[in-house]
Chain A
Amino acid sequence: MAEDLVIEINNLTKYFPITSGLFFQKKVAEVRAVDGVSFAIHRGETLGLVGESGCGKTTIGKCILQLYRATSGEVIFEGKNLCELTENQLRPLRRKLQVIFQDPYDSLNPRFTAADIIGEPLQINSDIRGRDFDARIAELLDIVGLSPYMADRYPHEFSGGQRQRLGVARALALQPEFIVCDEPLSALDVSIQAQIINLLDDLQDKFGIAYLFISHDLSVVRHISDRVGVMYLGKMMELAQRDEIYKSPLHPYTQALLSAVPIPDPAVEAKRSVIVLKGEVPSPINPPSGCVFHPRCPKAFDACPKVVPLLEDAGSGHRVACLLYKTSWP
C-alpha cells in the first residue's frame, strides 16, 4: 500500500502566537490550533475530518497546502517534506494540491468571469493558450455540469450551487492528485448539497483524486468518506474506517457527536436518547491537562486529567486516543 500514498502527515503541529505590545511585540501565549496530528491519505481515497469549530481541522488543510507554515512536523508529498521547501521549490508541486473553499460567495473574484476564474491556474501553471485554452475551459465547465456558454458570466450571475461548481472546476483545472475540500457544502441548501456530493464522488471515480474532506456534518462525512478522523481541540481523538467508526464509535466524544445528530425520522427520534455534553469547548490557548476532553467527558475517571492519551490501535486499525482503551499501563 505504501506506494499508493498520496500524502503523509507526521506529528503536525501549528501554534499561533498571541503577541502584546505596540513596537516590541512580545509573545505572551499561543493558540494550540493543531497539536501533533499524524495521518496518511491513499490514492483515490477520501479522508473525512470532523469536529466542532476551532478544533483545528481547517488549519490542518492549510498546513498541508503550505498556506500556513507548520510550527513543527512533516507533510510528505512525492517523497519531499513540503514544510522544508521554499516558495519557488513549492510552485511546481502546488498544481497537484488544490483546494475547494467553504464559501462560494467569498472565494470567487467578483470582477473575474467564469473563464477567468477557471483559467487563472492554467495561465500561471501551464502553457495551454489560445484555442486549446478555450477548449479546456469548456471541457472543465462541462465536467462540473455547467454549460460552456456560461464562460463569460460573472460570479453574481450564478446561484450558490453553480458557484461551488465553479470552485470545483478551478480546483480541477490542473488535474491535481489531492484536493482539500474545506466545508464545501455548508453554504449550500440541502437539495443542492446532494448535487455537489454526487459531483465530487463522480470526479473521484473518474480521475482518482484523493480528498481531505473537512466538515462538521457527520451524515455527509459518512456518505463521502472511506476513513474518518475525529478532532477535538487540535488533537486527533479517533481515526478509523468509515463503517467501523459509525457502527462502533469508541471515543466518548465521537459517541456524543453521533448521538447529537438528529435523524430525519420522527419515529426513530422518539426512541433515541441523546448524550448531551456539558459545557463548551475550552480555549485552545490554555487547554485542559491530560486528555483535553476530560472536563466534558461523561466517562472520565481519575487518570484522565493526568495522563495524555495517545492515538493507539484498539484492534483492526481502529485508532483511538482514550484511556478507557489503554491496555498497558507503565
Chain B
Amino acid sequence: MSTLLDVRNLVTRFYTQDGVVKAVNGVSFTVNKGETVALVGESGCGKSVTALSILRLIAQPPGKVISGEALLDGTNLLKLSTEEIRKIRGAHISMIFQEPMSSLNPVLTIGRQMTEQLELHRNMGHEEALTEAINLLKLVGIPQADRRLKDYPHHFSGGMRQRVMIAMAISCKPQLVIADEPTTAVDVTIQSQLLELIRGITDEMGMSLILITHNLGVVARYARRVYVMYAGMVVEHGVALEVYHHPFHPYTSGLLASVPRLDEPRKSRLAPIEGQPPDMMCPPEGCSFQPRCRYALPKCITDKPGLLEIAPGHFSACWVASSREMPWQKT
C-alpha cells in the first residue's frame, strides 16, 4: 500500500485573550491509499483541529499552524497558496462535518449547494451538474432525489441532512474523505445506517477515510489502524486489533476499561480514569497524561516521552511502556 497523506510534526496554536492554547503539539500520522484510519480521543484532544489544519480551515487569527508538513501525494498542503488549496478542498480531500445543520447553508437549496462544487471542480455545465447531483442523492439513499433538489436543508431530517453531506463530500471523487464525528448528532439506528453507507461508498470508490471520533466502538467496527490522541499529541498508534487487545499506553488502557461493554458480563464497578484532561494553555511539562497516570515514574514528570516502536508497527509515547513493561495489561 502506498502512502496518500503524510502529516509530520503538525503544531497548531490559538492566540486568545486569555493566553495561548496549545491545541496540537507535533502530530504525525499517515493514511495509505484506500485505507480507513481513525483518530480517537476525548473532546479537546486536538483531533478536529488536526483535520482542520490539514485543510487549512483554521481561522487566522486566532489560530495558526506554527509548523509541520501535510504531504498529499508529495504536495505540502501547508505551503500552498489560497488559490491552490481551494483546488484541493472538495476535489482531492473532502470533509463530512459533525453538525450537518450548521455546515449546510440554510438559505440555498440542496441542489444549488451540490451543483456548485460539481461546476467548479469537475467543469460540468449546469444541466449536467443537476443530473449528477440527482445520481449522487440516489446513491446515498435519499428517496425522490429529483424532487428534493429544490428543498432547503431545514426540510430534511438530521439523518437525511447527513446523507446530503456525504453526497457532497464524495461528489468530486476525492482521494481522501475526512469524517469528523459524522454520527454524534444522530441516533444509534441512524448512526449504523450512515456509517455503513460511508464505509460502502469509500470501499467501492477506493477512497481513503479518516474517521474522527470519541466512540471506541465505532473505531473497532470500521477502522483498520487507529491513532489515540491525548492533549494535542498522538500517544499510541497501530493496527486497531493490536491497540485494543494489547494497549501500550495507560491512557488507551484506561479508556477501554472505563466503557461498559455489552458483550461482557456486567462489572459491579467501572474503572474510571481519575482526574481530568489538562488545561491546554499550560499543559504539564513532562508526559501530559502523567497527572492522571497510576504508573507514572519520576522521569514522567520532567521529560516528555516520544513515540517509540514497541512492537512492529505499534507505537507508544510512554516511559513505562518503553521499558517493555505494561503493568496495565495484567489487570
Contact = CB atoms under 8 A, between A and B. Distances in A.
Interface of A: 52-53, 159, 161-162, 189-195, 197-198, 201, 216, 218-220, 222-223, 242-243, 246, 256-258, 260-269, 274, 276-277, 280-281
Interface string B266-305: 1101111110110000000000000000000000000000
B190 A280 contact: yes
The 3 tightest CB contacts between A and B, nearest first, are A262-B217, A194-B272, A264-B216
A236 B259 CA distance: 27
Contacts of B255: 190-191
Q: Which range holds the interface residue count of chain B?
A: 35 or more
Contacts of B220: 262-266, 268-269
A280 B267 CA distance: 34
Nearest to B273: A191
Nearest to B257: A194
B206 interface: no
B245 A267 contact: yes
Interface stretch (B22-30, B99-107, B191-199, B319-327): B191-199
Given A190-B216, A257-B189, A264 B276 contact: no
Nearest to B195: A262
Contacts of B218: 262
A216 B245 CA distance: 27
B1 interface: no
B272 A262 contact: no
Contact of A189 (B43, B192, B261): B43
Nearest to A55: B187
B261 A265 contact: yes
B254 A264 contact: no
Given A265-B244, A280-B157, A218 B269 contact: no
Nearest to B226: A266
Nearest to B141: A278
A53 B159 CA distance: 12
Given A161-B276, A264-B220, A267-B241, A194 B258 contact: yes
B298 to A, nearest CB: 24
B42 A189 contact: yes
Contacts of A261: 188, 217, 262
6 contacts: A162-B276, A191-B255, A219-B259, A264-B216, A267-B241, A269-B220
Given A52-B190, A260-B188, 10 more contacts: A191-B258, A191-B273, A192-B276, A193-B259, A195-B272, A216-B187, A218-B262, A219-B259, A219-B262, A263-B261
